[in-house]
Amino acid sequence: DGGITQSPKYLFRKEGQNVTLSCEQNLNHDAMYWYRQDPGQGLRLIYYSQIVNDFQKGDIAEGYSVSREKKESFPLTVTSAQKNPTAFYLCASSRDRGETQYFGPGTRLLVL
Amino acid sequence: GQQLNQSPQSMFIQEGEDVSMNCTSSSIFNTWLWYKQDPGEGPVLLIALYKAGELTSNGRLTAQFGITRKDSFLNISASIPSDVGIYFCAGLPGGTSYGKLTFGQGTILTVHP
């Protein structure tokens, strides 16, 4: 089945620790995205990538980093510089940047 | 950043009732999307609209792309308990913001059996 997978489902971070969230897609989509969702709020764009080895900051990129070494994969690292990392993180992909986006199941990050 | 005004924020209805929700924007969009999100899950695409005035159905769901390209609505007919969830509208603009999806705040739907 084609789709987007995210792992893990739940992730716990200790103070001062970097953690990496995985996102993989087998839809052959060029564009991939990371969003953050907080309770009662809409989705906010963290980073996006239009093509392999290229990515751009979204609206709330501070404290986050990404890489796009393969078309299928777009991992997100939440660094220790992100002071309020507790949120639900959603990965999405689209055929290209201007097209309909499809979402993965999400990863919930909690701080210990 | 730009936001969409989605209303209502929440709805409590009886099973079998029809539901209507809408989104408005001060800017023009090239595409309107409607998603449903269940608790702890990612949003699932319900309907995509690509042309001003377009009216599209998906089972009991009907959505329209406003003629001004600044609004869209979603109707759900004969609601059932599994319709419970959060419904988001989203717009894709053109120009310098090409490809940047903008979301509404969501409508929380509760259906009483």
Q: How far is A110 from chain B (nearest CA, A)?
A: 14
Interface of A with B (CB under 8 A): 4, 6, 31, 33, 40-43, 45, 48, 50, 58-59, 88, 90, 94, 96-106, 108
Phi-psi domain of A95 (left: phi exceeds 0; alpha: psi -120 through 50; beta: other):
alpha
Please state, in angstroms and rounded to a whole number, the distance separating the CA atoms of residues A101 and B7: 22
b (16+ CB within 10 A) / e for B86-111: bbbbbbbbeeeeebbbbbbbbbbbeb
Q: How many CB atoms lie within 10 A of CB A15?
A: 7
Burial, B1: exposed, middle or buried (Cβ in 10 Å; 0-12, 13-18, 19+)? exposed
Contact B22, B6 (CB under 8 A): yes
What pLDDT was estimated at residue A98? Answer: 78
What pLDDT was estimated at residue A1? Answer: 62
Looking only at Cα atoms, what is the longest distance across chain B?
Answer: 46
Q: How many CB atoms lie within 10 A of CB A40?
A: 10
What pLDDT was estimated at residue B96? Answer: 61
Chain A CB contacts of B100 below 8 Å = 45, 58
DSSP B20: E
Q: Mean pLDDT, consecutive 10-residue segments, chain B of 113 residues?
A: 85 97 94 95 95 96 96 97 96 75 93 93
Q: How far is A106 from chain B (nearest CA, A)?
A: 5
DSSP B99: T
Cβ separation A45–B94 shorter than 8 A = no
What pLDDT was estimated at residue A96? Answer: 85
Cβ separation A31–B99 shorter than 8 A = yes
Show pLDDT as tens, one digit a residue, over chain A (112 residues). 679 999 999 999 888 899 999 999 999 999 999 999 998 778 999 999 999 999 999 999 999 999 999 999 999 999 998 989 999 999 999 998 778 999 999 999 998 8
What pLDDT was estimated at residue A11? Answer: 94
